[in-house]
Amino acid sequence: MPFVKPSNAILVGGSPLVEELVTEGTSVKPGLLVIKGTGDHQVGLAGDGARNVLGVVDSDPRYKITDAFPDKHPVRVLKGPIVVVCTLKSGQNVAKGARLDAAANGELKANAGKAVNEGGTATYTIYWDTIIGYAEESVDASAAAKPIMVRLVI
C-alpha cells in the first residue's frame, strides 16, 4: 500500500523512538532536522551536511504545522525506521528512492555522493554516512522548498 502524505502531521508510518527535548532559539519548526543544542536537553537546526542529526521535530497541536516554536518550547524529536514528512530544500528535484542528507536550516537535499579517483584511470562514487533517509516520493522543489515523505535511516 502506498504512503499518503498528511497535510497536518509529520509521522506518516512506523513506530518512532521519541525523545522529548526543548528548543534553543526560535527557528525550530515541525518537519525539520535537529541536532543537540548547548545542553543535551536542547535542540537546534541541523546544518548543511550535518553528521550528528538527532531526528525530525514532530508537530504540536497547539501550533500551526508551518510555525516556528518559541525558545525553550518542549518538542518531540522522532527517529527510527519510520516514514515522516520533512522539508526538501529549494533548488532540489529528487525522484523516489533518492538518498537524502542534511541541508542548511534543518532541510534536506539530494546526496550526490563524492566522486573519488585514487590516481588510476577510473573514478567511482562513494555514498557516505551523512545519509538521513530515502525519498518516498518524487518532489520538484526547484522554485521553493516543499514537503517530502522520507524513510529515515537515523
What local confidence, expressed as pLDDT, does residue 14 receive? Answer: 96
Q: DSSP secondary structure string, 23-42?
A: ESSS---TT-EEEE-SSTTE
Whole-angstrom distance, CA of residue 146 vs CA of residue 80 = 22
- 4-60 pLDDT per residue, tens: 999 999 999 999 999 999 999 999 999 999 999 999 999 999 999 999 999 999 999
CA-nearest of 94, 93, 106, 124 to 49 is: 106
List, in order of start, the domains of the chain with CATH numbers. Answer: 11-152 (2.40.300)
pLDDT digits (tens, 9 = 90+) for 63-108: 999 999 999 999 999 999 999 999 999 999 999 999 999 999 999 9
Q: What's the pTM value of the predicted model, to 2 decimals?
A: 0.91
pLDDT at res. 127: 60
Split at pLDDT 50, 70, 90, the class of 130 is: confident
